[in-house]
Amino acid sequence: MIIPSFQWPSIKAKVTLLTLVALVVGLWSLAFVASRTLHQSLLEQLGRQQKSTVALMADQFDDELRLRTKALEAAATTISPSAMANALALQAGIEKGPVIPLLFNGGTYVVRPDGTAIASVPVSAERVGLNYMDRDHVAAALRHGVSKVGQVNVGKGLKTPVFGIAVPIRAAQGEVIGALVGAIDLSKPNFLDHRSTASTAKPAAICWSRRSSGW
């Protein structure tokens, strides 16, 4: 039997084969680098978009808090020392305030200098008689005379997760005689869920009326 002898490929075939191998390796390397570059570019773009979205949401959140703080501050200027001394008149006054249903789904309440609530809306929250001096925003308004947004806590009256905004109530001479507090009930629909709707509210439409309430 004649065994055919093995013949090495010609130089031309070798060059062609090596060229094809080099081309395949080059294309694979290029595709790998392009894929990694595209992946990194997409991650960076996504990160920029997320950062922009977070910044926009933060600005909207700040605007909503500023709107509510200014509304409370405007309302607080209408509460006189005589109203603070008359719980029934004070209760009747805050029940007339349109700021409550528009901006504070958890209602509002007024506290004395010692932090005890003396008037509250809604009445069903049963805040009157409870002391809120342990809440950071209430303490800031009463002790330091500054408006403050509080931390999230379980409401003493509502028994649901809430956060509040407290502003000082001052006498004519400037001394703090109490605080007005607005509550946001996070268990119910609120401006965090409907920022675009809430942000269109007009400050002039939410200030409490000064008419015939005696405040």
pLDDT number for residue 152: 93
pLDDT tens figures, 23-74: 787 788 778 777 777 777 777 777 777 666 666 666 678 889 999 999 999 9
Number of CB atoms found within 10 A of residue 121's CB: 22
| Mean pLDDT across the chain | 80
pLDDT number for residue 98: 63
- Residue 169 to residue 76: CA distance in whole angstroms: 5
Tell me the CB-side half-sphere exposure of residue 54, using CA atoms within 13 A.
6
What are 76's two structure tokens?
A: 């607080």
In a domain, 81, yes or no: yes
In a domain, 90, yes or no: yes
Using a cut of 0.85, tell me whether the model's pTM lies above it. no
In a domain, 170, yes or no: yes
Q: Spell out the SS3 assignment of 49-115.
A: HHHHHHHHHHHHHHHHHHHHHHHHHHHHCCCCHHHHCCHHHHHHHHHCCCHHHHHCCCCEEEECCCC
pLDDT number for residue 55: 63
- Residue 187 to residue 159: CA distance in whole angstroms: 10
Partnered with residue 185 across adjacent β-strands are: 162
- Which candidate, 45, 111, 34, places its Cα nearest to that of 72? 111
pLDDT number for residue 214: 40
Partnered with residue 167 across adjacent β-strands are: 180
CA angle 12, 14, 9 (to 5 degrees): 85
Q: The domain containing residue 163 runs over which residues? A: 60-206
What confidence category does residue 7 fall into, taking pLDDT thresholds of 50, 70 and 90? low
- Alpha-carbon torsion (135, 140, 145, 146), positive or negative: negative
Q: Confirm if 186 and 152 have CB atoms less than 8 A apart.
A: yes
pLDDT number for residue 36: 79
- The domain total for the chain is 1
As a whole number, mean pLDDT of residues 77-105 equals: 86
- Which candidate, 132, 113, 129, 114, places its Cα nearest to that of 182? 132
Please give the residue that has the higher pLDDT: either 91 or 102: 91
What confidence category does residue 208 fall into, taking pLDDT thresholds of 50, 70 and 90? very low
In a domain, 25, yes or no: no
| 121 pLDDT more than 50 | yes
In a domain, 196, yes or no: yes
145: left (phi over 0), alpha (psi -120 to 50) or beta: left
pLDDT tens figures, 185-195: 999 988 877 55
pLDDT tens figures, 123-162: 999 999 999 999 999 999 999 999 999 999 999 999 999 9
E strand or H helix that includes residue 164: strand 161-170
The CATH number that applies at residue 155 is: 3.30.450.20
pLDDT number for residue 46: 74
| 213 pLDDT more than 70 | no
In a domain, 214, yes or no: no
In a domain, 30, yes or no: no
41: left (phi over 0), alpha (psi -120 to 50) or beta: alpha
In a domain, 31, yes or no: no
| 209 pLDDT more than 80 | no
